[in-house]
Amino acid sequence: MSRAATDPTSYDAVDVIRTKRDGGRLSGDQIRWVISAYTAGDVAEEQMSALAMAVLLRGMDRAEIADWTQAMIASGERMNFSSLTRADGTRRLTADKHSTGGVGDKITLPLAPLVASFGVPVPQLSGRGLGHTGGTLDKLESIPGWRAQLSNQEILNQLDTVGAVICAAGASLAPADKKLYALRDVTGTVESIPLIASSIMSKKIAEGTDALVLDVKVGSGAFMKTHDDAEELARTMVALGTDAGVRTTALLTEMSTPLGMTAGNAMEVEESLEVLAGGGPDDVVDLTVALAAEMLAGAGITGVDPAEHLRGGQAMDSWRQMISAQGGDPDAPLPQPRHQHTVTAPASGVLSRLDAYAVGVAAWRLGAGRSRKEDPVQAAAGVRIHAKPGDTVTAGQPLLTLCTDQEHRIPRAEEALTEAVSVEPEGTQLPAPTLIHRRITAEDL
């Protein structure tokens, strides 16, 4: 890093903001300086907030995004799993997955132990939910005794012995992103492709995984509402990963309706257990298997069918070891809600729409999610889904069950669902739903 990038007096934050505000490009040194000075507290929150808005409105080119990502990686420590070896001394390549976030997206839960059951270590450093999308750690914390915080040494030991680790990303991993993400969250600057791509990839590259598959969601329940935006985000992230030497691929997947039949913490664990036992909803199984195949291929394993380890119980064995290794009791009963309320079908016919965003907001209002980082979540809160688009329904039949520990939350959750459902007359032919829209690899860039 040049001296200019580390010297707090070498640039003026206002000049950097003005350059981007007026549509100019930032130099590598300017980017390294502004990220390092912001992390150190020498660039004020209001200045970074103005810069984030300028980036959101003006964009960044590929070189700027790469410099921004590298600067955020350099703000903290990089993990290294190169000590993981086989008996013959050869390296065991690690594989990870990142989803851009959706409703009912519990895929990480069955996926990590499934991939580990093929001998590929999975370091899955995850986050908590904010807003309408759930967080993997919140889901797993509904398992009595399960612990999200592990030291780097514990992560390495568990990768070596069990193979799968799902835990909280430590404070020292890309601290610039932690600060910036919290700021973006309260300044309307989350929805910027360069900022999302650099935020996600700085953490994944710093984590040190060898292979990475990105599940880029598109639809009402996702950050990216259009295919064009989702594809641009996917390409940007695949380019960043590839340039950093990580074998990166992306799948563009549907998020206009929730994944599976549950959106809530404990209930998503329960559904993941069904998948690990060889059952579960088709969409959850299909996506888990497709992402597992990508991760295995990235780690050099091809010609296997991941679904066999769901049917054969190997993935469930891995799950049990992974949960026990982090203090959880895989046999403990999961929390149940104190109150339930049924939402019924408004008409008879074919359910043509069950809106992911509305279900996510309802689950959040029931207590499954949080509005502020420090808020607690309810393990048993959420929405159980009884019919999915394409199913025939009869007026008055149960469509959704709203679950919560606090009855007063139910009316606001129900309000979120007012426009969530459409029913077409019986016999209406709906287009076949597509779960995986396309795959993007380094060759597509």
Catalytic positions: 98, 177, 184, 199, 203
* Cβ at position 41, least distance to ligand URA in Å: 21
Q: Which residue is nearest to ligand URA (CB)?
A: 199
What is the Cα–Cα distance from 433 to 354, expressed in whole angstroms?
A: 13
In the bound state with ligand URA, the residue whose beta carbon lies nearer, of 142 and 199, is 199
* Cβ at position 195, least distance to ligand URA in Å: 6
* Cβ at position 361, least distance to ligand URA in Å: 18
Handedness of CA 159, 161, 165, 170 (dihedral sign): negative
Report DSSP state, residue 368: I
Angle at CA of residue 83, ends 79 and 84, nearest 5°? 100
In the bound state with ligand URA, the residue whose beta carbon lies nearer, of 19 and 69, is 69
Residues with Cβ within 8 Å of residue 339, at least 6 apart in sequence: 403, 404, 405, 406, 407, 410
Regarding beta strands 398-404 and 164-168, do their DSSP bridges make them parallel or antiparallel, or are they unpaired? unpaired
How many C-beta atoms surround the C-beta of residue 439 within 10 A?
A: 14
Contacts 24+ apart (CB under 8 A), 83-90: 83/156, 84/121, 84/156, 84/159, 84/160
* Cβ at position 196, least distance to ligand URA in Å: 4
* Cβ at position 199, least distance to ligand URA in Å: 3
In the bound state with ligand URA, the residue whose beta carbon lies nearer, of 52 and 293, is 52
In the bound state with ligand URA, the residue whose beta carbon lies nearer, of 204 and 384, is 204
- Contact yes or no for 78/177 (Cβ under 8 A): no
Regarding beta strands 95-99 and 211-218, do their DSSP bridges make them parallel or antiparallel, or are they unpaired? parallel
Q: Tokens 């469509």 sit at which residue?
A: 399
What is the Cα–Cα distance from 411 to 407, expressed in whole angstroms?
A: 9
Q: Helix H segments across 215-281?
A: 227-243, 265-276
In the bound state with ligand URA, the residue whose beta carbon lies nearer, of 207 and 210, is 207
* Cβ at position 121, least distance to ligand URA in Å: 22
Enumerate binding residues for ligand URA (CB under 6 A): 101, 181, 190, 195-196, 199-200
In the bound state with ligand URA, the residue whose beta carbon lies nearer, of 200 and 383, is 200
* Cβ at position 83, least distance to ligand URA in Å: 27
In the bound state with ligand URA, the residue whose beta carbon lies nearer, of 200 and 296, is 200
Determine the residue type at 331.
D
Q: Which helix (H) or strand (E) holds 213?
A: strand 211-218
What is the Cα–Cα distance from 445 to 441, expressed in whole angstroms?
A: 7
Report DSSP state, residue 277: T
Residue 91, SS3? strand
List the beta bridge partners of residue 130.
Answer: 133
